[in-house]
Structure 1
Amino acid sequence: MTQPNTVDVQIMDKPYCIACPPEERDNLENAARYLDRKMREIRSSGKVIGADRVAVMAALNITHELLHKHQRETSNAREQVQDLLERVDSALADDSNPTGNAP
């Protein structure tokens, strides 16, 4: 039975009742579907047996995805900051030499 501020989800055919604020319900349901899909992919590969091991492998895979995405985003942000710094340096150099002659 669902109580207020809980969400019922199924992961690998097992029901879970999870406390969750109403505004996070959609996010929780999406996360549960994503986890269920990852666990089913691992189980269907036949390389990992046992729900606990499947869950750990899914957690490792999801963590790896998140860390890899974070590293890419951090790298992109660094490149953008470097580009902006170069633009600022160029603009400052142009301002300090309005005639275009070398100092």
Structure 2
Amino acid sequence: MSKEKDISASQFTFLQKIPDQLGYLIISGDAVVKSDGELVNNEHIAKIVPRMISLSKLVFTPNAGVSPPKFQQITVTYTDHFYTIARSGKYVFVVKRKSQN
């Protein structure tokens, strides 16, 4: 993964408005575009997420030889927090949020 790319400061401000958000990571290709909060510069998650997406294509493809459905969203849940992984255009967004217990 490479260093965060320079982007418009206001381009991803919507991520800061997500309720109970603890941090976020934006990935494009093999680069971290932007990160904040508990996920700031988290290269470990930035490397794992693309693998998870690739694995989900293998696991959830209904029939061999058939194109897998396009990935929409993956949620990974723990006791006190969860991660939502979503794709929009060329970006993959990872948001860590506090669980509502």
Q: Report if TM-score (shorter chain) is over 0.5.
A: no
Q: Which protein shows a greater Rg?
A: 1
- TM (norm. structure 1) is 0.34
- TM (norm. structure 2) is 0.35
| Structure of higher RCO (CA pairs closer than 8 Å, 6+ residues apart) | 2
Flag the structure with higher strand content. 2
Flag the structure with higher helix content. 1
